[in-house]
Chain A
Amino acid sequence: MLLTIENAVKRFGGLIAVNNVSMTVEKGEIIGLIGPNGAGKTTLMNLISGFYQANSGKLTFNGVDITSFKQHEICKQGIARTFQIPRPFPDLTAIANVCVGVLCGKPRPHMSYHDSMLDASHYLEFVGLFGKRNILARDLSLYEMRALELARALATNPQLVLIDEVMAGLNPGEASSAVDLIQRMIEEYDVTVIWVEHVMKVIMAATSRVVVLHYGEKIASGPPFEVVNDPKIIEAYLGEKIA
């Protein structure tokens, strides 16, 4: 078992964003996290990555209790994330962005600054941004920023990658290459993925298991085709009448 979440609760004042969610993630799985807007998907991602601390519940990663860990400690344990709205370091060049991941992620002994540049260029090559290594991150296009975030996440040497809506704002061509990129990443780097996505076609094709959140609660979990035909899910997405 790679990641275990037990009864995680996150409140924002009176609003319960994540309500008693329990789930497990096996090594090598690709999990789709779906749900309507405001269902608590991103909050759950933030809980796992340490961006927020859970009000109650327990998170275990690789047998280590990470519930009260800070973000950088969680990153060192081997969890990396991307953001829904890309957040590269805008005033650093693309290679320097990835370099931060290389130097700060899982400790690599005997890694000098120069070596980290070499390592970073490898990850940039992987996502297809090597040609733009010396361009400031803020001058990149949306797709390139997403790719850069992915490279930076990979550079921290993760076991689990949290991907937050890669498709949002991409044109069909870019979207398909983004999906290709993620699948190549899973194959080549042997990472486990939790993937938040609104585009169901991608989720159906790529994931091995789907977890559905609704108003902060987990309402279903299982193989994608079983889940989408569940009346409860259709109700959550489209309303009672159509279901």
Chain B
Amino acid sequence: MKPYGESMRLEHRRGNLKLHVMSLKLEWTIEPRYWRNPLIAITGLLLLPFILYNRPDYLTLFITANIYACIAIPLAWQMTGTGRMNFGPQFFIGIGGYTAALLSIHWGWGPWQTLGAVILVSLGFAAILSPLTTVAKGLYFSLITLTLPLIFLELTFVYTEIFKGESGLAGIAPLVNFARMKINFLAAAYISLGIMLFYLLVIDKIFRSRFGLLAAAINDDEDVAQTCGLNINKYKMICFIVTSVMIALGGWFFAHQDGTFAGITYLPLPFMIKILLIVIIGGRGEIYGAIVGSYFVAVLEKVLMNFGAINYILFPLIMLILLFALREGLYGIYRKHKYKEYFPAMRVRKR
């Protein structure tokens, strides 16, 4: 057996960080231009909860926006990595939320215990559904994923004794339990921000690595990617499973944060429209754009609430207008003018 030092080695040379694992070599460039702008933005986000400390309503908005981003960021990777448009990411929100809620209510599990269970259960569901990415092409994949959450919603009504239908499950263990309500909100805000930043960091690294390039190749032309020697089925399935588990954690957070979980809030089409709007505003396959989109949608939701019942029409209407007016999203406009990378640009877009 090889000594540890030979099979795995980390070195820092010429501004590059190199990691040798067996015969695989991973390399990252450490250079300010890569992390300066994100660092400024992250510092701003870290300070925001303190500024909003006395306004729990704004803090709730902040938390919601972060969790929307936690759905949109993995979705950006999923859509490029599988080359397909998933119209039902909220299915996994439902899986995560109900798993956490049921375990917490019936067995009295706390949030950190249900976390593991949510990961395992969503992993199972994602593994069962992952062959869809290889079997169903284009529109069919979108249609199947669109119906999945709706079927799940029906099931929550059919098996009312388990899922409690429209009223939803109540009495879920809270995420954090301090004496003061404001501290609870602050803690929840930082937890949501933490999850979001973790997703951002991980998927940003993935997009900048070989796996990001392969995702872009699959997004562009699956057949050709295969003739180049890429096992696309394996890649697409792994991508689908990992991102689905990531999305399911959004449901886990919603369940423990609100203390109640009802499928009717997350599973129907209006929630999907929100997610779609985030993706459209952010630009397809853009992770930083997904954050911009999430904050935009969360604020828009808040503003439109003042208009009463008409917001049900306004929301999709705004989405449709943006769909035609902003093909590359809000972030796409910025990126078009500012994009300059040390390494060749890898632009991930579907025509």
Residues of chain A at the chain B interface (Cβ within 8 Å): 49-51, 70-72, 75-76, 80-81, 83, 87-93, 95-96, 99-101, 103-106, 109-117, 133-134, 136, 152, 156
Contacts and interface: CB of A to CB of B under 8 A. Distances in A.
Nearest to B224: A87
Q: Is the interface of B mostly helix, strand, loop or mixed?
A: mixed
Given A116-B210, A134-B344, A136-B347, A91 B216 contact: yes
Nearest to B343: A117
A93 B25 contact: no
Point out which of A70, A89, A106 has the most chain B C-beta atoms below 10 A from its C-beta: A89
22 contacts: A51-B227, A75-B229, A83-B224, A87-B223, A87-B224, A89-B216, A91-B216, A91-B348, A91-B349, A92-B220, A93-B344, A93-B345, A93-B346, A96-B346, A103-B210, A103-B213, A104-B214, A110-B23, A113-B209, A113-B210, A113-B213, A133-B344
Contact of B229 (A72, A110, A114, A117): A72
Contacts of B345: 93, 134
Given A91-B349, A115-B25, A72 B232 contact: yes
B31 interface: no
Interface string B14-36: 00101010011111010000000
A85 to B, nearest CB: 11
Contacts, number: 111
A110 to B, nearest CB: 5
A156 B229 CA distance: 8
B61 to A, nearest CB: 35
Nearest to A121: B344
B220 A72 contact: no
A92 B346 contact: yes
Point out which of A75, A100, A111, A136 has the most chain B C-beta atoms below 10 A from its C-beta: A100
A104 B229 contact: yes
Interface in B316-351: 343-351
B226 A72 contact: yes
Top 3 nearest A-B pairs (CB, nearest first) are: A75-B229, A109-B23, A112-B27
A133 B344 CA distance: 8
Nearest to B26: A112
A105 B220 CA distance: 18
Contacts of A111: 25
Contacts of B344: 93, 95-96, 117, 133-134
Contact of B228 (A100, A114, A133): A100
Contacts of A49: 227
A222 B269 CA distance: 65
Contact of B351 (A50, A90, A109, A116): A90
B227 A81 contact: yes
B227 A115 contact: no
Contacts of A93: 344-347
B217 interface: yes
A80 B29 CA distance: 32
